[in-house]
Structure 1
C-alpha cells in the first residue's frame, strides 16, 4: 500500500477503480472494461506490479466512492489496444474529480480480434454510447454522474472513434479516392486491411451518423483516420474539441491527421496543440526502464511503444494531463 500523494502533486481525491460489464440488449457484442472514480481517501491506493514492461497506474481496487456528482469521461483505446493503455489517465483524472470509463472494443482490442467484429467498425462509437447509457441509467454509479458534463477522449483509432461520436462522418467516396492512391496514409492501410466498407450494406453502416447529443466536449489524442472523414461533417461539429498531436510524428503524418482535423473543425470550437517531441505512444502508459529491451527480445517490432517511454513519457503525461484539465474545466 502506498501512502502519500506523488511528489509535487496533491489531488483532492484517491483513484478508485472497478471492473464493469455493460448489461443491455446487445447480446451479440458484450462489453467489459474499467471505471475509475474519485474516492475520499487521497492517500490510499496500491500500485500493482503485474507487468515486466509496464508500470501500473495507482488504483484503489473497489475503493469506496467519494460523495458528490462528477463529470464523466469515456475513453476509447487505439487499434488492438485495451483499457490498460489509458489507465494512467483514468487514475489521474479520478484523483481530480472525474469519473472515467473505458471498454475493450470487440474486434479491435488486444484479445478480441474476430474479423467480422473488426470489419464492423461503426460499432466502436456505438460501444461508447452504450457505455454512457449504462452508466447514467442502469449502473450503481448513475447518481454520481453529472449528465451535463459528459466528455469523450480517444487515442489513435480511439480518436477517430470519439470524433464519430462527436458528429464526424465517414465518407465512402472520399475513402475510395484517398485509399486508391499509391502513397497510402496509415489509416488507409489499416481500413483496407480490415475490409472496411467493402459491401453496400457496410458502406451504409459506416456512413451513418453516430453522433451522441449527450456529449459536451471531445478530446482527440493523436488520432488516425482524418483522411476518410467528411469535411462537411467536421465543419458542422458544434461542441468544443481538443486536438492533441505528436510533434515527433513517429507513426502518423500530422499534416494528414491532427493538423488536418484541426483545420477542418470550426475555428471557435477547436484547440490544437502539437506536443513537441511527443511520440504516438506517449499517450499510453509508462514503460519500466527495462521494458524496451524485453520487448525487443521477446516481441521484436513492438519495442517502439517504449521509445522514450520512461522519464520522458512521464513528463509528456504531465503536459497531456495539464492540457486536458484546462480544456475540460474551461
Structure 2
C-alpha cells in the first residue's frame, strides 16, 4: 500500500506531451434488448472546435455539442457511476480525457441512477445487472455508434466509483460471494439484498474481457471479494480508497480487495478523505439542494481540498490510461 503523494511536476509532464483537442459531446441511447431496458448515455470525444459551457442534465459541461470527431485509433474509456448518480458525475474528467485523445462514454444505470424512472437500488438486481449495462454500452460503441471506426477497440479502459467500482471489479473478472453479506446486511429502507440472498442463488455478474485496464474508486463489499473470487482478474488496476470511508464503505474494504487481487494494484489511499470526496466538487445549486437530506455529499472534513484532489485524481488517471492504453499500442 502507498499513501497518495501529489506530484505536480509529473502531472504537468504527462499533460504536456499529449496532443490537445477539445471535447465533443453526443447524447446517445443504448436500445432495449434481451439483456435489459434502454439506457441513456453520453459520449465525449476529440474535436477541433472551441468548447463552450452547455447544460446537460443539470451539469455545466465544457464541450461542443455534436462536434465532428477528429483523429483515429482513439482508446475508449467507459464510466460507471455510484448509487443515485448519473452519467454526468465525472464530466470534467471525461472532458479532460477527450481533450487528450480518448473517447469516453458513460450511462445512467437503469436500476439505480438518480435519473431513472425504474430506480430500485434496494433490489440486488441493481448490483448484478450493472456489469451487463456497461457491456451493452461497449457493444453499442463498438458496433452501433456512428463513429465506431474511430475507436481503437483493442484498448478499452474502465472507471467506476462506489457501486460503479464494484461493477468494475465484476467486469474485470471478480466473482463476489454474496453469502458474506449476511454477516453485515445493509439496513437502509427498502433494501432486500439479504432477503434475496437467503431465498436462493444470485445470478452471477458478467465479465468483459475486452477491458484492458481499470480505475476502481472506493468499492464497497470488501469481504465479498475473496482471493478465489478475484483469481481471474489479470488487467492493470489503479485502486483508489478514502482514508475514512463512509456510506457503507470502510477503509478495510479496499485493503481486503487489494490484498486478494492476483495482480499488484497501483493502490492510492487519499489522506483525510471520506467516501463522497471522490465525487467532484459540488456546485452551489447542488449543495443547497442536498444540504438538508444528504449534507455528506458536499461536506468535506476540515483541511481537505476536494477541488485540488480532483485535479490530481484526473491527472493520475490520465497517466494510468496513457501507460496501459496508449503506450501499450505503440
TM-score bin (small chain): 0.7 to 0.9
- Cα-Cα RMSD: 2.9
Range 89-98 or range 271-280, more displaced: 271-280
Alpha-carbon distance, 1:35 to partner: 0.6
**Contact residue 17 and residue 37 of structure 1 kept, 8 A:** yes
**Contact residue 177 and residue 229 of structure 2 kept, 8 A:** no
Shift of the 292–32 alpha-carbon distance from structure 1 to 2, 3 Å rule, reads closer
Aligned to 1:232: 228
Shift of the 55–129 alpha-carbon distance from structure 1 to 2, 3 Å rule, reads closer
Question: What do residues 95-142 of structure 1 show as CA deviations (whole Å, max 9, x unaligned)?
Answer: 111111111111111132443994313111001111111111121121
Whole-Å Cα distance in 2 between the matches of residues 117 and 138 of structure 1? 32
- Are 2:22 and 1:17 aligned? no
**Contact residue 213 and residue 236 of structure 2 kept, 8 A:** yes
Aligned to 1:262: 258
Aligned to 1:80: 84
**Contact residue 55 and residue 286 of structure 1 kept, 8 A:** no
Aligned to 1:162: 168
Aligned to 2:201: 203
Shift of the 191–226 alpha-carbon distance from structure 1 to 2, 3 Å rule, reads farther
**Contact residue 165 and residue 212 of structure 1 kept, 8 A:** yes
- Are 2:44 and 1:36 aligned? yes
Find the residue that maps to 1:132 and give its secondary structure. helix
- Are 2:61 and 1:57 aligned? yes
Gaps of at least 5 residues in structure 2 are 1-11, 324-330
Find the residue that maps to 1:234 and give its secondary structure. coil
Alpha-carbon distance, 1:27 to partner: 7.5
**Contact residue 163 and residue 219 of structure 2 kept, 8 A:** yes
Question: What do residues 178-217 of structure 1 show as CA deviations (whole Å, max 9, x unaligned)?
Answer: 33xxxx6xxx446981436716886241xx2511111101
Range 211-220 or range 247-256, more displaced: 247-256
Whole-Å Cα distance in 2 between the matches of residues 201 and 250 of structure 1? 29
Shift of the 191–26 alpha-carbon distance from structure 1 to 2, 3 Å rule, reads farther
**Contact residue 38 and residue 95 of structure 1 kept, 8 A:** yes
Alpha-carbon distance, 1:37 to partner: 0.8
**Contact residue 218 and residue 241 of structure 2 kept, 8 A:** yes
| Mapping for residues 29-178 of structure 1, pairs under 5 Å | 29-41=37-49, 44-48=50-54, 56-112=60-116, 113-115=118-120, 118-120=123-125, 121-176=127-182, 178=183
Find the residue that maps to 2:211 and give its secondary structure. coil
**Contact residue 45 and residue 69 of structure 2 kept, 8 A:** yes
Whole-Å Cα distance in 1 between the matches of residues 188 and 258 of structure 2? 22
**Contact residue 238 and residue 269 of structure 1 kept, 8 A:** no
Whole-Å Cα distance in 2 between the matches of residues 211 and 106 of structure 1? 19
Range 96-105 or range 112-121, more displaced: 112-121
Shift of the 75–201 alpha-carbon distance from structure 1 to 2, 3 Å rule, reads farther
Alpha-carbon distance, 1:293 to partner: 4.5
Aligned to 1:3: none
Aligned to 1:282: 277
Find the residue that maps to 1:152 and give its secondary structure. strand
- Are 2:321 and 1:328 aligned? yes
Name the TM-score, length of structure 1 as normaliser: 0.82
**Contact residue 36 and residue 133 of structure 2 kept, 8 A:** no
Gaps of at least 5 residues in structure 1 are 1-7
Find the residue that maps to 2:134 and give its secondary structure. helix
Shift of the 12–56 alpha-carbon distance from structure 1 to 2, 3 Å rule, reads same
